[in-house]
Amino acid sequence: MNVEQLLGDKGREVISVQPHRTLAEVISTLTERRIGAVAVMGADGALVGILSERDIIRALGEHGAAALESAVSRVMTSKVVTCRYQTSVDELMELMTSGRFRHVPVVESGRVVGIVSIGDVVKHRVAAIEAESRAMRDYIAMA
Ligand code: AMP
């Protein structure tokens, strides 16, 4: 299984914000869309960062409620680890585990074509394990 197949199951919508937006605006987006992170894109659509709920909590912890008016660009992570359609789910898990993050944008030809989260990976793993156990039970029942 690779990232392209994972995206086929979950969809390719990319929810993004521009770097000049405020954290308060991002909180509204995260809440409305029920997600944990947004891609940060410049006016030209290029990926310039990623901002997750962890970044917002950290900013609030450091600066209090005033952080809500901070620009996304001041709080986001600029060095984004990305993957490609052909990245395997195993490689993706390794990226998330070693980088200690739960979201990875998928980039093809310089454009963000999707975002995969740890939730998507776990869902896939659970489905695979269930299918394996069903196959085992069927095999035992036949014997
Ligand atoms: P998360 O676990 O995704 O909520 O993110 C934890 C921290 O890692 C936050 O500071 C994020 O900005 C950062 N982060 C999330 N995804 C990535 C990524 N793909 N590449 C680099 N940093 C990331």
What's the confidence (pLDDT) of residue 75? 98
pLDDT at 11: 84
Tens-place pLDDT, residues 84-96: 999 999 999 999 9
How many CA within 13 A on the CB side of residue 81? Answer: 17
pLDDT of residue 127: 86
- For a mutational test of ligand 1's pocket, the pick from 77, 91, 96, 116, i.e. the residue with the most ligand atoms closer than 8 A to its C-beta, is 77
User: Looking at residue 50, what is its pLDDT?
Assistant: 98
Protein residue closest via CA to atom 22 of ligand 1: 80
118-121, long-range: CB < 8 A, 24+ apart: 120/6, 120/9, 120/10, 121/6, 121/89, 121/92, 121/93, 121/96
| pLDDT tens digits, one per residue of 24-76 | 999 999 999 999 999 999 999 999 999 999 999 999 999 999 999 999 999 99
CA of 52 to the centre of ligand 1 (A): 6
pLDDT at 19 over 90: yes
Measured CA to CA, the distance from residue 12 to residue 52 in angstroms comes to 19
pLDDT of 42 reads 95
| pLDDT at residue 105, as a whole number | 98
**Nearest CA, atom 21, ligand 1:** 80
Rounded Cα distance, 9 and 60, in Å? 35
CA-wise closest residue to 81 among 53, 115, 45: 115
Please give the CATH number for the structural domain made up of 3-142.
3.10.580.10
pLDDT at 78: 98
CA distance 116 to 6: 8
**Average pLDDT score over the chain:** 95
Question: Which parts of the chain are beta strand (E)?
Answer: 16-17, 37-41, 47-52, 103-108, 111-117
Q: Which residues line ligand 1 (CB under 6 A)?
A: 36-37, 50-55, 77, 80-81, 99, 101-104
Q: Whose CA is nearest to atom 6 of ligand 1?
A: 101
